[in-house]
Amino acid sequence: MRVYVIGAGPGDPRLLTLRGAELIAACPVVLYTGSLVPAEVIAPARPGARVLDSSGMTLEEIVAVMVEARDAGQDVARVHTGDPLIFGSTAEQLRRLDQLGIAWEIVPGVSSFTAAAAALGRELTLPELSQTVILTRAEGRTPMPAGEKLADLGRHGATMALFLSITLVDDVVAALAPAYGADCPAAVVHKASCPDQIVVTGTLADIAGKAKAAGIRSQAMILVGRVLTATDFAASRLYDPSFSHGYRKARREGAPEHSRRGRRPPAAATTSAPGQVEPSPEKPPGLLLVYTGHGKGKTTAALGLVFRALGRGQRVAVVQFIKGKWKTGERLFAESIPGLTFRVMGQGFTWDSDDLSRDRRAAEAAWAEGKALALGGGHDVVVLDELTYAINYGFVPLDDVLEVSRAARAAGVSVVVTGRNAPDALVTAADLVTDMKSVKHPFQQGQRARAGIDY
Ligand code: SAH
């Protein structure tokens, strides 16, 4: 005997999975959330099956039905709306089943947030605009955990889908408008995928009024984010002819297209090893630039170059391998610049740290990120600030750095490395090396570091 927890989909009965439909037709007991699961989904239950609507039941009454079924050796189809694992109140049932030793299995479903996106015809993740979807709700009777207030989540600027929140739409707008801007696109989709679906679109400034005017008070998804209207987003590298990946080699301009008909892609996707990134025909190869030496100005020089590249509409990433004592001016500014990815490695690798294994982990994490940015195809210039320290401490393998910078350059990406004591092999491999020499420094006259000059 087993309880099958099945996602019924968002409303359209044809959005039920084949596996869900098979189980509903096969189980002698069908327990469904009648308030939201359409009758057509449970109609195929077999003749004589015990079909019960759980919407008026308590948790213990639901569990009692399952225990009776267990005692009778009967499987149960427990049918939830959308996907059962998103705002499904599923976990509390599974916990009781575990306590009772009753076996269960989950059959996922189409969630209403994807159905709402489908109704709008908008992809929720777009390159460089939002690569994250936050699934959340407004704070109602269920309190939000610390750090998950809408105003906190809004700071990410990511696409947001709000369940269970339409009656609180005014609060949603008040919490999100400061972070997203009142002009940020927003939409409300009522009964997505159903025949009486209603779609309302607008901005954070007017969406609440429009939804109310449309009479929407329940079963609605609120979506917020620039992805809802953007048309000038960058194209994904996946289908870019000049970009190679595990399933396709880059094509040269003018070269005949390979006929790949009849050829199957490899069974498993291979991750893009450095050597697989091929030169792009439109783009000249990138350069490796090294700013080293004992004088001040290495990071400053790299940041000047960042400024220049951004001015040319290039996409730039900076990874800082050393977390200084201060929040730097560049970091404060970077947070407000579009087109710039700026990462300061996590806690740990500071100038005066004494925990080497923590430093190693932090450096490795920063290198993994730097490598991904250099090879990911989403940037033209990648700055690896103070990377030489991580190499010289043995946290980041020099060979790996050389290999990645070679592959990145071949793909048209310039890599800038800063830090004292650049290893000889890096200097040899570089196209440009500047050795900063200190002639004078206010520090020598006992002056302290200054905001805006030193950090
Ligand atoms: N597990 C479900 C969500 C259940 S919570 C899922 O994955 O979709 C109920 C909330 O889901 C509703 O308040 C509403 O915000 C949303 N919802 C459910 N069905 C919907 C539909 N057809 N259209 C829009 N929103 C829907």
53 CA → ligand 1 middle, Å:
18
pLDDT of residue 326: 64
Which residue minimizes the CA distance to atom 4 of ligand 1? 87
Find the mean pLDDT for residues 377-406. Answer: 92
The per-residue pLDDT for 334 is: 82
- Residue 257: pLDDT band by 50, 70, 90 thresholds? very low
The token pair at 408 is 């990145």
Ligand 1 binding pocket mutation candidate from 16, 41, 221, 224 (most atoms within 8 A of CB): 221
From 216, 220, 229, select the one nearest 180 (Cα to Cα).
229
CA distance 417 to 426: 9
Q: Evaluate whether 111 touches 10 at the Cβ level (below 8 Å).
A: yes
Q: Does 162 score more than 60 pLDDT?
A: yes
Structure tokens at 195: 């025949």
In this prediction, residues 103-114 reach a mean pLDDT of: 98
Q: Exposure pattern of 334-346 as b/e (b: 16+ CB <10 Å)?
A: beeeeebbbbbbe
Please report the atom of ligand 1 found closest to the CA of residue 110.
7
- For the chain, give the percent of residues with pLDDT over 90: 64
* Over residues 388-392, mean pLDDT: 90
Q: Please, what is the average pLDDT of the chain?
A: 87
CB-CB contact of 410 with 243 (8 Å)? no
Strand order through the sheet with 316-320:
340-344, 316-320, 381-385, 414-418, 288-293, 432-436
CA-CA distance, 455 to 449, in Å (whole number)?
Answer: 8
Separation CA 25–CA 397 (nearest Å): 58
Cα–Cα distance measured from residue 403 to residue 415, given in angstroms and rounded to the nearest whole number: 12
For the entire predicted model, the pTM comes to 0.58
Residue 242 three-state SS: coil
Token reading at 65 = 């039905």
CA of 219 to the centre of ligand 1 (A): 6
What does the DSSP 8-state code read for residue 56? T
pLDDT at 354 (0 to 100): 65
Is the CB–ligand 1 distance for residue 164 below 6 Å? Answer: yes
Q: Is 70 helix (H, G, I), strand (E, B) or coil?
A: helix
Q: What is the Cα 422 distance to its own chain's centre?
A: 34
Question: For 19-33, 39-53, 326-340, 361-375, which range has the lowest pLDDT when averaged over its residues?
Answer: 326-340
Domains of the chain listed by start with CATH number = 3-110 (3.40.1010.10), 113-228 (3.30.950.10), 288-445 (3.40.50.300)
Ligand 1 centroid to residue 51 C-alpha, Å = 22
The finding on whether 154 has its CB within 6 A of some atom of ligand 1 is no
Check if 208 has its Cβ closer than 6 Å to any atom of ligand 1: no
Please report how the helices 398-410 and 356-375 are oriented relative to each other, as an axis angle in degrees rounded to 10: 20
Beta bridge partners of 245: 248
Instruction: State which of 105-114, 263-272, 344-353 shows the largest mean pLDDT.
Output: 105-114
Provide the pLDDT for residue 313.
Answer: 82
Half-sphere exposure of 98 (CA within 13 A, CB side): 6
Cβ-based burial of 143 (10 A; exposed 0-12, middle 13-18, buried ≥19):
exposed
pLDDT value at 274 more than 50: no
Tokens of 444: 């020598």
Does the C-beta of 83 come closer than 6 Å to ligand 1?
yes
Which two structure tokens, joined as six digits, stand for 326?
Answer: 């201060």
